[in-house]
Amino acid sequence: PAHSQANEDTLQQRLQALIECARESWTYAVFWQLSYDFAAGEDDGGGNSSNTPLLAWGDGYYKGEEEKPMKKKPTPISAAEQEHRKRVVRELNSLISGGGGGTVNGGDEAGDEEVTDTEWFFLVSMTQSFINGSGLPGQAFSNSQTIWLSGSNALAGSSCERARQGQVYGLETMVCIPTENGVVELGSSEIIHQNSDLMDKVNSFFNPSNGG
Amino acid sequence: EGDLPIARRKSLQRFLEKRKERIVSTSPYSP
């Protein structure tokens, strides 16, 4: 357990370093961890189940968006949708705090404040996983190739549901970089053009054989 | 609650704590 705890902590530190040390303004970073879904495998009749490789939530770091006065605001959501998001955040606060109706750190501000589109996208992402080859992370991993989508047209026109969903929630750039045991995904509400600096950092931080 | 995988639970906890910090730091009532 101590070793597992250390792995989780360093994973969080690597995601944070990736974003905080970058020249560009990234909104979030997620590590999709390669794992195996034994439940989804088919029983061969002899009690032996095959297993299906999938990319599941490993960890994530949400930085948020920079406030820019001239920035185009996404289409406002309905009051009902905003209330739904707030209710979910309040319930999650309660869940994390032990179900006693309290909130993280005892405060209740977090449940009353508006939940932004990118916060909601990040939260929803925690519930997702991708079979190898499917979705943005799955395609990046199975082809061992970085996928870099910048501009809302590129996201909206993608064949991947996740990219289209990201565009709806105000993202302008989504990147998936494959590593030895998963995929690093970054998203930004700004247009960020492809650069090797980010890919070099991911390669260095997330590939153990490179000393990462 | 018991079905929430530990990685997601920890990420969720971090996200909610940082969100609260951001809200408090940008609040007009913040000291």
Of B4, B8, B16, the CB nearest to A110: B16
Higher pLDDT, residue A69 or B6: B6
Q: What is the end-to-end Cα distance of chain A in Å, rounded?
A: 21
Phi, psi of A176 (to 5 degrees): -125, 120
List the single range of A13-17, A72-76, A91-95 with lowest mean pLDDT.
A72-76
Amino acid letter at A154? A
Of B11, B19, B20, the CB nearest to A126: B11
Which of A93, A118, A124, A185 best probes binding to B when mutated, by most B CB atoms within 10 angstroms?
A93
| Confidence at residue A210, expressed as pLDDT on a 0 to 100 scale | 67
Q: For residues A159-186, give the mean pLDDT.
A: 96
Helices (H) and strands (E) in chain A, counts: 8, 6
Of B11, B14, B18, the CB nearest to A57: B11
Is it the case that residue A65 has pLDDT exceeding 70? Answer: yes
Q: Cα torsion for A99, A100, A102, A104, to the nearest 10°?
A: -40
Please give the DSSP secondary-structure letter assigned to residue A26.
Answer: -
| Confidence at residue A74, expressed as pLDDT on a 0 to 100 scale | 64
| Confidence at residue B1, expressed as pLDDT on a 0 to 100 scale | 44
Mean pLDDT of chain A: 85
List the single range of A42-46, A192-196, B11-15 with lowest mean pLDDT.
A42-46
Provide the shortest C-alpha distance from residue B31 to chain A (in Å).
15
ipTM: 0.81
Interface of B with A (CB under 8 A): 1, 4-5, 7-20, 22-24, 27
List the single range of A27-36, A87-96, A201-210, B1-10 with lowest mean pLDDT.
B1-10
pLDDT bracket for residue A62 (50, 70, 90)? very high
